[in-house]
Structure 1
Amino acid sequence: MRVAVDEDRCAGHGMCLTLCPEVFEMTEDGWAVADPGDVPPGLEDAAREAVQNCPERAIREID
């Protein structure tokens, strides 16, 4: 599983970073980005929770 953040939709709330800091980080400008690789084993549930709880629906799961 991989995840991606839509830069045009992200409003910088940081919910994803709170829920799964191993996969998401904030840029200097305050926008979320996701690690471009596969979500590490054991973190899939946390990454999916971040997808589901993004207020702007800016994160999507990539198969």
Structure 2
Amino acid sequence: MRLTVDRIACDGAGLCLRTLPELLAADEWGYPIVHREEVPDALRRHAKNAAHLCPRIALHLKD
């Protein structure tokens, strides 16, 4: 499973950063940057929660 961020759709709300700090970091403006695209099995549930919480549907998981 891979994690991506649609940087155009993202409004920087930050819910994903608080939900998935193991895979995401904030850039200098507070927008998420994926620092590890491959989602480990142990974090799949957290990644799915982060994608579900995104108010702009900017966080995507792909198998």
Task: With the length of structure 1 as denominator, give the TM-score of the two structures.
Answer: 0.89
Q: Which residue of 1 aligns with 2:23?
A: 23
The amino acid of 2:5's aligned partner reads V
Structure 1 distance, partners of 2:9, 2:37, is 21
Q: Which residue of 1 aligns with 2:55?
A: 55
Structure 1's consecutive aligned runs of 4 or more residues displaced over 6 angstroms after TM superposition are: none
Tell me the secondary structure at the aligned position of residue 57 of structure 1. Answer: coil
Matched-pair identity in %: 35
How large is the Cα RMSD of the aligned pairs? 1.2
Any gaps of 5 or more consecutive residues in structure 2? Answer: none
Any gaps of 5 or more consecutive residues in structure 1? Answer: none
Task: With the length of structure 2 as denominator, give the TM-score of the two structures.
Answer: 0.89
